[in-house]
Structure 1
Amino acid sequence: MQRVGELAALGAATCWAVSPLAFGAAGRRAGSLPVNLLRLWFALPLLTLLCWATRGQPLPLDAGSHEWLWLGVSGLVGFAFGDLCLFRAYVLVGPRRATVVMSTAPVWTALGAWLLGGERLTALETAGMLAVVFGVGLAVLDRQPRTALPAPVADRPATGLLLALGGAIGQAGGLVLAKRGLAAYPFLPATQIRLLAGALAFALLFTVTRQWGRVVAALRDRRVLGLSIVGTVIGPVTGVSLSLLAVQEIPAGVAASLMATTPVLILPLVALLGQERIGWRAVAGALLAVAGTVGLFS
């Protein structure tokens, strides 16, 4: 099938535009860190069943040391380091500014893929990637709260922006490292390995900080459980699997650029839910991002 990589990247972006709505609602009830751990734990058995149904074996026992090393480190960098930085940035500077910084992920991905894998982009792909990044940034900068939601703790903006940058670099590093471990290995069990590494890292964090009580409290809340499961199916299972399929089929920088359209895709959703109002900058940014996407498909 032609353009399977590009379509997979856009599919991942769509999943990541929807899943934060479920995770956000769950996080407001139970806290972002417990929900972050639960989403990884819930994703593992779902992926195990999916691998069993499609491959005939539930666990990635056919993976060699090369796959375990690169995909495991990818999970640590992307899920543990990247998500930990990003969720903390949400608290310090709020999701709007954090998402703007996260839109630089394609640049870091392309740089990492060039340094580690020797990937080079054509002039049209580079122009399309930059158009997507600037379009996403313009669209997200225009987002304004419509409802009187609690303001983020913004007395440490420098720290928050640095953490958001860490989240962008973590996401980029996770994709580049995953591509090194994928090669001809199927993307579904590869996702299993990445999720396992991230889940174990978060479990270690909760053990060291003695916060397991928060996880137990989240498990006892049926609404948190339901929202977390829905978000898990859409995000860590479907979205992450599609993202690995994308980087397996096309250059990592191109895949990351297409996946960076998530903030644009989420704009109509938050507008329909009454959480944001959309101005002309958001529309212009969305059109620029779409133009960049067309360039990446050319």
Structure 2
Amino acid sequence: MLPFTLQASPPPWAGIGEIGALLSAVCWGISTVLYAGKFKKGGSPWDAVLTKNFLAFFVLGAIAWAAPASWGGAGPGPGETIWLLVSGALGFALGDLLFFHTITLLGVGRATVLALLSVLFASILAWIFEGEILTKTQLAGCTLILVGAAAVEFRKQSRESHSKGVALALACALIWAIAGFLSRKGLVETGPLTAAALRIGGGTIALFLWATLRGEAITVLRRMVKKDAWQPYLIPAFIGTACGVGLLCVGLKWAKLGVAMSLANAYPAFALPLAAWWLKEKIPARIWTAAGAVLIGTALLHLAA
């Protein structure tokens, strides 16, 4: 769907790209449910986003610094750093904040399925700005995604909090699509691990800039020194951001784009069963069906590219 040429370097071993992309979906599915569990106990989405970005930046930054270029540690190409920072500011700051707030309002099931509309929005951006034409198969994929998203929200009654959650989910999907679209310009020569660290760094910088503009920078720093602000999110932050994002970049680097994105976007397949089992979240058959339709639609969009 979104073709681009990455740095020409052979993979360390065959299949590493596909494995990386699938494992990123597993990481995101697990971390999404862990975050949801913390939010149910009164956790703060702001604390969660700041903790995950701060931790992942140092973890991935250290790995990227130590890794050879052939393993994804290649430095940024000319002019690519700014694209990665802006992409990270949108995706890992604003987009993730919206997603976490969506989880608190809609639960894991609805939030994860609606967030996958980012795939559809990304294809629309590619059509508008790069003239990419969708094939009949890809149009069928778009239709399935829309039908699945609509099925999630097909209900007799709608509370105010539910309507707000849907609006946040749609905004999150759009922001993620824009962030992903912009990140392509920073992945031409930059190693995937370096790109991941820079993107997350951009998200961290954006959060502190926002706090500074609101006159809350000192308050935020004092807050993050306290264990109760960051300790609850260390495990999901490490699994979802440090591991998940790094693995996704490995997938984007050494697997076909369509295959990598289809596998990475399969995280609801792991998040929904975990939410039903661990969080005891009631997920109606309608949501399971909608998730299946959206995942199939996503695969059609990517694999037919």
Classify the TM-score, shorter chain: 0.7 to 0.9
CA RMSD of aligned residues (A): 3.7
| C-alpha spacing 1:266/1:258, structure 2 compared with 1 (3 Å) | same
Alpha-carbon offset, residue 204 of structure 1: 1.8
Give 1:233's aligned residue: 238
Q: How does 1:168-207 map to 2 (within 5 A)?
A: 168-207=173-212
Deviations 1:159-200 (CA, angstroms, capped at 9, x unpaired): 543332221011111111111210132111001111111101
Q: How does 1:125-274 map to 2 (within 5 A)?
A: 125-128=138-141, 130-131=143-144, 134-135=147-148, 138=151, 155=160, 159-209=164-214, 210=216, 212-213=218-219, 216-217=222-223, 219-221=225-227, 225-248=230-253, 249-251=255-257, 256-274=261-279
1:14 aligns with 2:20: no
Deviations 1:111-138 (CA, angstroms, capped at 9, x unpaired): 2233444545544355346546645765
CA contact 1:18–1:266 (8 Å) conserved in 2: yes
Give 1:36's aligned residue: 49
Alpha-carbon offset, residue 32 of structure 1: 1.3
Give 2:4's aligned residue: none
Structure-2 separation of matches of 1:226 and 1:34: 10
Structure 1 runs (4+) greater than 6 angstroms displaced: none
Structure-1 separation of matches of 2:246 and 2:127: 23
Structure-1 separation of matches of 2:209 and 2:98: 16
Give 1:148's aligned residue: none
Deviations 1:52-79 (CA, angstroms, capped at 9, x unpaired): 33228xxx89324421121111112212
Letter in 1 for 2:227: D
Alpha-carbon offset, residue 22 of structure 1: 2.8
1:67 aligns with 2:80: yes
Structure-1 separation of matches of 2:29 and 2:75: 33
Letter in 2 for 1:101: L
| C-alpha spacing 1:245/1:118, structure 2 compared with 1 (3 Å) | farther
TM superposition score normalised by structure 2: 0.75
CA contact 2:24–2:264 (8 Å) conserved in 1: yes
CA contact 1:105–1:171 (8 Å) conserved in 2: yes
Alpha-carbon offset, residue 38 of structure 1: 1.1
Q: Which runs of 5+ in 1 are unaligned?
A: 143-153
1:50 aligns with 2:63: yes
Given the alignment, which residue of 76, 101, 104 partners 2:89?
76
Structure-2 separation of matches of 1:166 and 1:288: 21
Structure-2 separation of matches of 1:46 and 1:131: 38
CA contact 1:37–1:202 (8 Å) conserved in 2: yes
Q: Which runs of 5+ in 2 are unaligned?
A: 1-12
| C-alpha spacing 1:286/1:74, structure 2 compared with 1 (3 Å) | closer
Deviations 1:228-249 (CA, angstroms, capped at 9, x unpaired): 2211221112212233344455
| C-alpha spacing 1:9/1:118, structure 2 compared with 1 (3 Å) | farther
Give percent identity, aligned residues only. Answer: 28
